């Protein structure tokens, strides 16, 4: 399944790195905790980082009821946001070809404020379970006072694109004779072992959902999980069935 290509989400620079595959885009969104939202205030564009949750084709943001960004998004009724994982620095013999390995997604969506207690709780549940899967069932749910102080926005993803760059350093043919060093510096986002709060109640042990979160992050870094996943854009040449097969295999491992 792909997101529709429109004038807004079609990648023009670096088309070979582009993907509109839903699973690829969702996977990049699920790997990250923080996105950067673009919004307008008085006709001027702002960029601001914020955490989010994803469930199917929906994203969720939350903030104080007086928050400038969420107010601007409600006024606009739509949003563009982006996420990016940096995977490596690529150093080449020429200044011109220096580059990075990365996975990024730019998402466009319709914004709707969730107003009933039930809807707000569901939105917040998706944010908390995006943060650490399964967490919602292991913490105190928001009470009426907390819900009243919180604005929850639902974003229906209407279009999106990913860029996935995983190629080795590349130089102009004549530059390979130069004496400059070229190579790759891998970059990894490492989630370390959970540290209990110093005021933790006696007898409360590290729960399995937190341990599993830690183990899964570690596993993905170790296996070079992404080194395989980033082949998606190449796989697309083999057709939608190959992509679906690839993702179903990868999401299980």
Considering only CA atoms, which of 66, 72, 27 is closest in space to residue 47? 72
Q: Which residue is associated with the tokens 């400038």?
A: 68
- Count Cβ atoms below 10 Å from residue 220 Cβ, excluding itself: 17
Give CA–CA dist 108/216, Å, rounded: 29
The minimum distance between CB 239 and a copy of itself, in angstroms, equals 29
29 or 79: CB nearest a copy of itself: 79
Considering only CA atoms, which of 11, 10, 61 is closest in space to residue 39? 61
Q: Which residue is associated with the tokens 């928001």?
A: 142
135 or 242: CB nearest a copy of itself: 135
27 or 142: CB nearest a copy of itself: 142
The minimum distance between CB 240 and a copy of itself, in angstroms, equals 27
The minimum distance between CB 252 and a copy of itself, in angstroms, equals 24
Q: Read off φ and ψ for residue 132, nearest 5 degrees.
A: -140, 115
- Count Cβ atoms below 10 Å from residue 117 Cβ, excluding itself: 12
207 or 231: CB nearest a copy of itself: 207
CA 91 from centre of chain: 25
Tokens of 36: 């950067």
85 or 242: CB nearest a copy of itself: 85
The minimum distance between CB 56 and a copy of itself, in angstroms, equals 21
The minimum distance between CB 180 and a copy of itself, in angstroms, equals 5
């Amino acid at each position: 399944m792909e997101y529709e290509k429109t004038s807004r989400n079609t990648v023009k620079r670096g088309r070979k790195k582009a993907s509109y595959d839903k699973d690829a885009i969702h996977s990049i969104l699920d790997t990250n905790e923080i996105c950067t939202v673009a919004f307008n205030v008085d006709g001027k564009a702002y960029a601001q980082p914020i955490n989010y949750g994803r469930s199917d084709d929906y994203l969720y943001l939350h903030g104080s009821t007086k928050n400038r960004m969420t107010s601007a998004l409600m006024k606009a009724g739509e949003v563009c946001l982006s996420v990016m994982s940096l995977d490596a620095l690529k150093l080449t013999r020429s200044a011109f070809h220096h580059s990075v390995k990365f996975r990024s997604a730019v998402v466009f969506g319709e914004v709707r404020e969730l107003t009933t207690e039930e809807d707000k709780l569901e939105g917040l549940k998706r944010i908390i379970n995006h943060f650490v899967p399964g967490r919602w069932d292991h913490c105190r749910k928001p009470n009426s006072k907390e819900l009243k102080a919180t604005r929850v926005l639902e974003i229906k993803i209407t279009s999106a694109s990913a860029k996935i760059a995983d190629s080795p350093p590349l130089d102009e043919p004549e530059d390979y004779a130069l004496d400059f060093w070229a190579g790759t510096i891998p970059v990894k986002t490492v989630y370390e072992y959970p540290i209990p709060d110093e005021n933790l109640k006696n007898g409360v042990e590290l729960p399995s959902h937190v341990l599993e979160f830690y183990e899964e992050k570690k596993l993905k870094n170790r296996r070079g999980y992404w080194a395989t996943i980033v082949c998606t854009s190449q796989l697309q040449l083999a057709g939608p069935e190959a992509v679906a097969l690839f993702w179903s295999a990868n999401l299980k491992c």
